[in-house]
Chain A
Amino acid sequence: MQIVIASGKGGVGKSTVAASLIYLIKDKYKLIAVDADADAPNLHLLFGVNKWEEEKELTGAKVARINQDTCIRCGICYERCPYESIKLVDGKYVVNELTCEGCGVCKLVCPVRGTITLEEVRSGVIMKTTTRYGFPLISAQLDVGRPNSGKLVTEEKEWAKKIMKERELDHMIVDSAAGIGCQVIASVGGADVAILVAEPTPASLSDVKRVYKVVQHFREPAYLIINKADINPGFEGLYEFAEQEGIPILGEIPYDRAIPYSMAMLKPFVEAFPESKASKALKEIAEAVENEILE
């Protein structure tokens, strides 16, 4: 089974919840974890990973380059670039490689053949390791300023599937990025179940509604976990949303000021502070995940 964890808004506790849930079910189920936030991968930190067994470079991203020796400074590429990624610097047209989408329009409209080329560049790296807990983890790091992070996620999942086959693993847990764009679509697509994490604030509610629409697009069953559940007493928005959409709530986790300290210990929260209220809630949620999703 493939489970994706998503939230729309960043910083509501996706990775914290994911790491603890994985920690709690790891002995009973054969699983692989995938950190699909290639823009800002963090899951490995929560499992104390400090070295990778295998790394693969991912190429395929393209950027345009302008040969200044043959460029006639006509400015057509500058006018036609859909993303305004060509700039006029000291009388020369240059491509900003950090914003280029690699579409090739500039190359097509350039009247001097061969002046603008599309060159393949590295878009990032995918990594694999075995955590100290025994299960494998796949992660990725997009190079700064590169597009195509959705492709990176797809590659990660392909690699994970291969490992699942080799090691006869049953479940893939995907920790997705914030937002609703290509990385998240690549994470949600192909999953069997989505677990949404939200906090009781208007901003988080707005964003979780948006990511739920993506989940609906793929017709996947969704569940909700309310994190930092006690920071905004009286806020009904998440309950109303869950009821309206028929999304079962797996549980509520109270805010715990010790969470940053568990991060500093490079451990899942439930391992670092097993007796805390938040850990008790996480254990109940793990049971609910076992009973309602994995069984």
Chain B
Amino acid sequence: MQIAVSGGKGGTGKSTIAINLAIALRNYFDLTLADLDVEAPNDHILLGIELQNEEPVELFMPRFDYSKCIRCRKCAEVCEEHAIVTMRDGTPFLMPTLCSGCGACQIVCPVEGAILEGKKLMGHTYLTETPYGFPLITGKLLEGEERAMPIVVAAKKKAKALNKELLIVDTAAGTSNTVSKALEDSQLIIAVTEPTPLGLHDLELILKLAETMGIKAWVVINRSDLGKKDDVKELAKRYNTRIIAEIPYSENILKTYIEGKPIVLSEYKEAEIFKKLAEEVANYLR
């Protein structure tokens, strides 16, 4: 089983909810938490732990053996990213930053061994055992690299390979194809929003994506007392989804967030909100 925490807008509290939900859900399921916000991964910081077991994510990058290359230009023609340019005589050159690593050039090359396997480091994945009884998988894109997709794919694969009863995925902001990659195969999306026109605007995008993907979505309104909830309720109704929790603005949540001590384990009353949410999710999945 798989659930995802997403929401469209950045900074609405996705990671806070993901880590607290994971801790609360460990009482129901054997689980893995995957931080697939590979451009800005923060779950480990909120859990107060250091990332471990680093593994590089490398992509294929063509390396030309010019002694074998017949200057046919097929590699350049097939490259959808226009990452291969050719000289007047057909000699190919790679512009590494444009290369997506798909390997199409190697497939199309008519001469065996003219395009060799080069490697390009795109980022890393991490497998960290948390003190809370479940592993955290993290994907981290290398600064300066543009393509988040290969890291999302690699990290998700690694998380799935742990083969736990439940996978909880924390996604990036937005609704691009890397977010849909993270959401893919989920039975439920927890869409976290804030009751502002900005939160509302982006919530609608994620609900639209959930609908397109045929995945059920529930809405969590974070900082629910700072803004207008009615608009969120109306939108949720329009998309036929439930508002499953409302979390008021809380200094306690902020404090535990900063200290890297998950609030669900604290004595603060807000812990109950996350326990209740976990119970709802568990009931839904069972």
Binding site for B on A (CB under 8 A): 8-12, 15, 37, 39-42, 45-46, 62, 80, 82-85, 96, 98-105, 108-109, 118, 142, 144-147, 149-150, 177-182, 184-185, 201-203, 206-207, 210-211, 213-214, 217, 231-232, 235, 257, 260-261, 263-264, 266
Scan B218-261; emit 1 where CB is below 8 A from any A CB, else 0: 00000100111000000000000000000001000010011010
Q: Say yes or no: B257 contacts A201, CB within 8 Å.
A: yes
CB contact under 8 A between A146 and B176, given known A40-B9, A101-B102, A103-B104: yes
Partner of A108, one of B10, B104, B198, B201: B104
Select B143's contact among A10, A62, A146, A210, beta carbons within 8 Å.
Answer: A210
How many angstroms from the CA of A180 to the CA of B175 in the assembled complex? 16
Given contacts A105-B107, A142-B176, contact A11 B101 (CB under 8 A): no
Contact pick for B174, options A98, A101, A105, A177, CB 8 Å? A177
B172 contact set on A, CB distance < 8 A: 178-179
A206 to B197 CA separation, bound complex (whole angstroms) = 28
**In the bound complex, do residue A104 and residue B198 qualify as a contact, i.e. CB atoms below 8 Å apart?**
no
Q: Mark B132-171, 1 if CB is under 8 A from A, else 0.
A: 0000000001011111111001000100000000000000
Check if B180 sits within 8 Å of A99, measured CB to CB.
yes
Do residues A98 and B209 form an inter-chain contact, with CB atoms below 8 A?
A: yes
In terms of DSSP, what is the predominant structure of the interface of chain B? loop
A41 to B202, CA, bound (A): 8
> How many angstroms from the CA of A182 to the CA of B260 in the assembled complex?
30
Any chain A CB within 8 A of the CB of B285? no
Q: Are B146 and A109 in contact (CB under 8 A)?
A: no
Given A178-B39, A185-B146, A263-B227: A82 in contact with B103 (beta carbons within 8 A) = yes
Cβ–Cβ contact B260 & A202, under 8 A: yes
Cβ of B8 under 8 Å from chain A: yes
> Contact at A203–B9, with CB atoms within 8 Å?
no
Give which listed residue, B8, B45, B143, B197, contacts A263 with CB less than 8 A.
B197
Which of B37, B195, B212 is close to A98, meaning CB atoms less than 8 Å apart? B212
Instruction: Please report the C-alpha to C-alpha distance between residue A117 and residue B233 in the assembled complex, in whole angstroms.
Output: 42
Determine the chain A residues whose CB is within 8 A of the CB of B208 once the complex forms.
Answer: 144
Report the 9 A-B pairs with minimum CB-CB distance, sorted nearest first.
A11-B11, A10-B10, A39-B174, A179-B39, A103-B102, A213-B143, A178-B10, A182-B146, A98-B180
Size of B's binding interface in residues, CB under 8 A:
65
B283 at the interface (CB under 8 A from A): no
Tell me, in angstroms, the Cα distance from A84 to B150 when the chains sit together: 10
Beta-carbon contact of B197 and A39 below 8 Å = no
* Residues of A contacting B37 in the complex (Cβ-Cβ under 8 angstroms): 179
- CB-CB under 8 A for A83 and B149, given A40-B201, A180-B143: yes
Task: Tell me if B181 is interfacial: C-beta within 8 Å of chain A.
Answer: yes
> Contact: A42 with B198, CB < 8 Å?
yes
Instruction: Tell which of B9, B141, B194, B249 has the most Cβ of chain A within 10 Å.
Output: B9
Residues in A whose Cβ lies below 8 Å from that of B258: 201-202, 231-232, 235
Task: Determine which of B45, B148, B212, B226 lies in contact with A145 in the assembled complex, contact meaning CB atoms within 8 Å.
Answer: B212
Among residues of B, the one whose C-beta sits closest to the C-beta of A11 is B11
**B40 (CB) vs chain A CBs: closest residue:** A207
Contact residues in A for B78 (Cβ distance below 8 Å) = 104, 108
Given A10-B10, A10-B11, A178-B10, 13 other A-B contacts at CB below 8 A? A10-B12, A10-B40, A104-B102, A104-B104, A105-B103, A118-B80, A145-B175, A146-B176, A180-B39, A201-B257, A260-B194, A263-B196, A264-B227
**Cα–Cα distance between A100 and B177 once the two chains are bound (Å):** 7
Alpha-carbon separation in the docked complex, A71 to B15 (Å): 42
- Take A9-B42, A42-B198, A260-B194 as given contacts and tell me if A179 and B104 are in contact as well, using a CB distance cutoff of 8 Å: no
User: Can you give 9 A-B contacts (C-beta < 8 A)?
Assistant: A8-B39, A9-B11, A39-B175, A42-B201, A99-B180, A101-B100, A108-B78, A179-B148, A201-B257
Q: How far is the CB of A177 from chain B (nearest CB, A)?
A: 7
A96 touches B184 (CB 8 A): yes
B213 at the interface (CB under 8 A from A): yes
